């Protein structure tokens, strides 16, 4: 498999998971996470460890996160052996066209079942500090 097709595959997985996320369905991400996934989010004090913890975190927001449209900007996939790091900027727009901007880093690992996320980190593009 060439590096370009690996890049396309990983970006495609991410784009589809984001499409589902913006329709209120977090399962798109849960389905491409490895059992040992770790997750950082600015609303959490600590890292979440494992798919079960991430699933429990996502379930209460199922059907509540909606975006009218989104853009996955500046994606970069860096492949190192059986691992790949995807970084990108995410911009979404709600029904009133309010814009939300995030930075994202996803670490994927190649498995027998395909590429799976083992580490995910989201942060606001312009965080506010007290």
Segments in the chain forming alpha helices (H) = 3-21, 27-30, 51-58
Q: CA–CA distance from 84 to each of 12, 14, 53 (Å)?
A: 14, 13, 23
Tens-digit pLDDT profile for residues 30-48: 999 999 999 999 899 999 9
Band of residue 126 on the pLDDT scale cut at 50, 70, 90: confident
Between CA 108 and CA 115 the distance in angstroms is 6
Between β-strands 48-49 and 33-40, what pairing exists: parallel, antiparallel or unpaired? antiparallel
pTM: 0.90
Tens-digit pLDDT profile for residues 57-99: 999 999 999 999 999 999 999 999 999 999 999 999 999 999 9
Tens-digit pLDDT profile for residues 4-28: 799 999 999 999 999 999 999 999 9
Q: What is the distance between the terminal CA atoms of the chain, rounded to a whole angstrom? A: 48
Residue 11 in tokens: 């970006």
């Amino acid at each position: 498999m060439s590096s370009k097709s690996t890049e396309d595959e990983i970006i495609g997985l991410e784009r589809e998971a984001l499409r589902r996320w913006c329709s209120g369905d977090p399962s798109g991400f849960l389905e491409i996470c490895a059992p040992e996934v770790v997750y950082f989010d600015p609303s959490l004090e600590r890292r979440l460890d494992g798919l079960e913890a991430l699933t429990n975190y996502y379930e209460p927001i199922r059907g509540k996160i909606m975006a009218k449209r989104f853009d996955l900007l500046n994606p970069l996939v860096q492949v190192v052996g059986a691992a790949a790091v995807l970084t990108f900027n995410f911009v979404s727009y709600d029904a009133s066209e309010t814009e939300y901007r995030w930075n994202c880093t996803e670490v994927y690992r190649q498995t027998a079942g395909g590429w799976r996320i083992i580490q995910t980190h989201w942060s606001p593009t312009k965080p506010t500090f007290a």
